[in-house]
Each structure stands twice: as C-alpha cells, then as structure tokens.
Amino acid sequence: MILTKKALPRRTFLRGAGASIALPLLDAMVPSMTAQAKTPASGVRRLGFVYIPMGSNIALWTPRSESDLSELSPTLSPLEPVKDQVTVLTNLELKNAYPGTHATSNAAFLSAAKAKWTESTDYHLGITVDQVAAKQIGQETQLPSLEMAMDLLKTVGQCDNGFACVYQNNLSWSSPTTPLPAEAHPRLVFERLFGDGGSAAERRAALRRKASLLDFVNEDIARLQGKLGGADRAKVGEYLDTVREVERRIQRAEADTADSRLPDLDRPIGVPVEYADHAKLMFDLQVLALQGDVTRVISFQLAREASNRTYPEAGVPDPHHPTSHHGNRPEKLAKIAKINQFHVSLFAYFLERLKATREGDGTLLDHSLYMYGSGMGNPNVHDHTNLPILVAGGAAGRMKGGRHIRYGQAAPLANLHLTMLDKVGVRLDSFQDSQGKIGELLEPLAV
C-alpha cells in the first residue's frame, strides 16, 4: 500500500486553497503537567459509516450467543482481533425502504427516509445521519464530511423499478434534495484531503503561489467594486468572504508549518487493479483523514447496490447481483457468505489500522464510532428487516463492545442512528421513524 507506512504526528495544521494537512498530537506538544495532558485526545469523536450492498446470508452472519461475541459467526470471524470494540445488532429494520428495491436499500440506510418514486430530477429523500452530525461536529475541521465509494461508474436516469439512479449512487444527502456525490478515485480523495502532497518545502511553495493568486483577485475585485450597483456589490461581497476564508487558511498554514516535521506524502497514482487493494487504500485514506483531523465524519460505499462485481479472491468468480438471488440454493448461499466475509475482512483491516494508531492516551479506534452494514436484509426477496448491522469503536470512552444485542421484534434502524448521534454529542429527540435510543448502548461503561 502507498500510505500505510506514513505515520503522521497530530494537531499542527497545513491548510490552503483546496488543501489541508493536519498533524496528530505529539507528546512534545502537550505539557506533561497540564490538564490537557491528562485527557484522551481532547475528547475528539469521529463518526463513520460503511455500506455493503445486497444484504447477507444472515444465518452465517448472526453470532450464536444471545448477549456477547464470545464466539463470532463465520462471516464475522475476521473481527476477532477487535471484537472487544464491536457490537452486533440483530433484527433492525428500515420500514421506509419499502417497496423493496436496491435503490431504496442504499437511499434509506443513512436517511431512514422514504425515497420519492421518480426517474427524473425531482428526487426527494431526507437528510442523512452523517450530515446531521456534520452540521455540528464537522464545523471544527476543514472538511465537514467526506464521502467515498468504490465504484467509478456514475449512471444516470432510472436504475431500479422507476427509481432515479441518484438513490443508488449516493449514500449521503445534506438535504432532502441535495445528494452528496462520493469519490472513488484514491488520487482525487488524497488531493482533496492533502493537496499535491510532496515535501514540506514543496507544499509551502504551492501555498505561496495560491496566496499570490488571491492577492491578484483581491486587487482586481477592489477596482471592480466602484463600478457596481448595490445588489452586485453584495454578491461580490459574499464572494470576497469566501476568498478571505481561503486567505485565512493559507496564512495559518504558512505560520503553522514553518517548523513542520511532516514526512513526504506521496499521492496515489491511480486505481489499484485488485478490488481489495483499492478498498484498503480507501480505508488508509480514511485513517489519515481522521488522524490528521481533516474531517470527523465519513461515509463509504464499499460496493454499489445491484453490482455485478466478481470476487475471485474470495472464491466467488460469479457476479454478486445474480448470486444474491439465491433461491435458497445452498451453493449460492455459501457464495453470498463468502462475499460477506470478504467485505467484513476489509472492514476488520481498517479497524485494526485505527487500533494501531495511537492518539492521546488511547487509539483512533477508541475515539471513533463506525456503523457497518446494509439496507437490505434477505437479497433474494429484497426485504429490509433483520439487517446485517454492527457498530465498532469506543466513541471517546462512551462505548463498550464485545456484545450482541438481539431484538425479539423488529426495531427501527433509526434507533441506532439516534443513539450514535448521542454518543458523539449530537442531541436529537427523534430521527425519522425512531422510537427512542437503544438502551443497551447507553449503559455506562463498567469500571
């Protein structure tokens, strides 16, 4: 991998127009006798979501124990090294995803909302849980949120039973009518997070070039202002506010990186040929983004609904979508389980990377909270109940793992959304069809 060996320090910021690099917290940056030194990474909490398409073979996903993860299921077995920070939740549902489709599975996963049935541009859904969080915990970082995916193809028109492709293409929506496109190219994600990379000297030179361009823009607009009417001056004023914000970032970057010890950052060249290499690189970028505090809210579509991707590395050379219509045939169910386990292994890789990254008196995994799962239950019938769902991370001391929470009757997935928001300090009374927070996840940690 390109980035896995680049361990960044923390809390020094390198910011510029369209670029940001922030360094992790170094012990030398915190006086040993201050109160700050005694707190875990200043209580920073991160929230993330990883989507898998087309449900699961739930029989091989579900843990055997009704209360803990003492024995992981075959599908979840790759999580063994981090299971003490994992909780599996069984029998959650998405009522608003019906009628059962691939489009509504993806669309409802983070919104818990009903998608308007349309093939045109008058689509309508609901704000997604990640964007609710981004409006609060995302305001202290360069990027309020980061949207990522694995599929470069962006189809348009109608994709599934009269539903516009926008519902399958986008996990995150900042409003009922504003989907947030996800980026699947590692190089473009890197450039959004860290600019051109390179050495510290090269990054400072790039900042100076951007600053000189902004000086020219300011001078030119100042000359223009005297020739404009009131309405146009107001519009130009709004534009100048944006320019000033970019200037502020550049000035801060120049000041804060004068003595930066940030190692060289190499941009990914392209998209890796192998799916697993691509996925791990995208997860590596998430680690760096969280470690550098460039963003605290991330959504990641690990594969697209109705995908015909094959997984020969997992022993499944057949296309995923046709295989998911298993008809209860044992051989197809076995292949679905292999795909499920393969996807879980990639998420486990990410969790282990977070666990291995020290921060304050803990790790990035201690200070993060991620939900992993699908908006579809049984892919053979496209239902939205008994979803494969788990959460991982310590939420900065507010979450304990090693548990299996099974509901006797189906409960809204929105209950989990509401609870996760609470864990990262975002307080809401309700979210879509939620019936309340999940009590077991709100229990105080054992001392």
Is 245 inside any structural domain? Answer: no
The pLDDT value recorded for residue 22 is 40
- Residue 3 placed within a domain: no
Domain carrying residue 123: 46-191+265-442
What pLDDT is stored for residue 160 in this prediction?
74
Q: For 219-230, what is each residue's pLDDT tens digit?
A: 666 777 777 787
Assess if residue 335 is contained within a domain.
yes
Q: What pLDDT, in 10s, does the model give residues 418-441?
A: 999 999 999 999 999 999 999 877
Domain assignment of residue 209, yes or no: no
pTM for the whole thing? 0.80
pLDDT tens sequence for the chain (447 residues): 444 444 434 333 333 333 333 434 433 334 433 333 333 345 778 999 999 999 999 999 999 999 999 999 999 999 999 999 999 999 999 999 998 899 999 999 999 999 999 988 899 999 999 999 999 998 888 889 999 999 876 666 657 778 999 999 999 999 999 999 999 998 888 877 776 655 556 656 665 665 555 565 666 667 777 777 877 777 566 556 655 555 554 454 454 444 444 345 566 767 888 999 999 999 999 998 898 788 999 999 999 998 999 999 999 999 999 999 999 999 999 999 999 999 999 999 999 999 998 888 899 999 999 999 999 999 999 999 999 999 999 987 788 899 999 999 999 999 999 999 999 999 999 999 999 999 877 664 443
Q: Is residue 231 part of a domain?
A: no
Secondary structure of the chain in the HEC alphabet? Answer: CCCCCCCCCECCEEEECCEEEECCECHHHCCCCCCHHHCCHHHCCEEEEEECCCCCCHHHHCCCCCCECCCCCCCCHHHHHHHHHEEEEEEEECHHHCCCCHHHHHHHHHHCCCCCCCCCCCCCCCCCHHHHHHHHHCCCCCCCCEEEECCCCCCCCEEECCEECHHHHCCEEEECCEEECCECCHHHHHHHHHCCCECHHHHHHHHHHHHHHHHHHHHHHHHHHCCCCHHHHHHHHHHHHHHHHHHHHHHHHHHHCCCCCCCCECCCCCCCCCHHHHHHHHHHHHHHHHHCCCCCEEEEECCCCCCCCCEHHHCECCCHHHHHCCCCCHHHHHHHHHHHHHHHHHHHHHHHHHHHCEECCEECCCCEEEEEECCCCCCCCCCCCCCCEEEECCCCCCCCCCEEEEEEEEEEHHHHHHHHHHHCCCCCCCCCCCCCCCHHHHCCCCC
- Is 14 a member of any domain? no
What's the CATH number where 288 sits? 3.40.720.10
Residue 9 lies in a domain: no
pLDDT of residue 130: 98
- pLDDT by residue (tens digit) across 178-208? 999 999 998 888 877 776 655 556 656 665 6
Total domain count, the chain:
1
| Inside any domain, residue 399 | yes
pLDDT at residue number 267: 67
